[in-house]
Chains A and B, each alone.
Chain A
Amino acid sequence: GDSVTQMEGPVTLSEEAFLTINCTYTATGYPSLFWYVQYPGEGLQLLLKATKADDKGSNKGFEATYRKETTSFHLEKGSVQVSDSAVYFCALSDNAGNMLTFGGGTRLMVKP
């Protein structure tokens, strides 16, 4: 079945550092790929998505590129802020378009 593997956290960075959160997936067909962010006490919010190979999703300074050859969708940001502290989830859609499969989440802590 489909699966998503994320790097384990917590990831602790200083403000303005470069961020990478690794995400790899196993799926049949051509899934859409997503990154969600969850701030403390809130639900998940869609951060960015990509629907086909080599697409780059971007939002709020975050980027991720759909790499079919490496089955990866790593999240990057050039300069993190304290306000980026949150939990980040990678996800993929099934071929039928009915269900998302989520990774286990990666907690990011940014220190001033």
Chain B
Amino acid sequence: EADIYQTPRYLVIGTGKKITLECSQTMGHDKMYWYQQDPGMELHLIHYSYGVNSTEKGDLSSESTVSRIRTEHFPLTLESARPSHTSQYLCASSDGAVRGYTFGSGTRLTVV
């Protein structure tokens, strides 16, 4: 039973389209994170939020944007998708990093 949900699981879209990747959690966690995972497996933090109306950019520069209007919801938007955005995107949440993160199942995005 997943407590953090990502939709869609797989997405193939054309260049120039606007897309939103959804991430929702039911655990009431304040902290949420977006990672981009390249084929070499390494995780790159692209956005994070420590609460409602608080968002920050991560270590890896990304053309995506995020919002945090509700505690449970942390969507990621690409205004104009490009082939270089093809990747796996993982969402995670936490009520304190000392207890670890809970990850969603990921969205695998392919831009053609």
A→B interface (CB under 8 Å): 32, 34, 36, 38, 41-46, 49, 51, 87, 89, 91, 93-94, 96-100, 102, 104-105, 107
Contact = CB atoms under 8 A, between A and B. Distances in A.
Contact of A102 (B6, B43, B99, B106): B43
B100 interface: yes
Contacts of B41: 38, 87, 104-105, 107
Interface residues of B, number: 24
Contacts of A99: 45, 48, 97
A106 B108 CA distance: 20
Contacts of A49: 100
Interface in B62-112: 90, 92, 94, 96-106, 108
Contacts of A42: 105-106
A43 B98 contact: no
A95 to B, nearest CB: 9
Contacts of A87: 41
Name the residue in A32, A42, A49, A98 with the highest tally of chain B Cβ atoms < 10 Å from its Cβ. A98
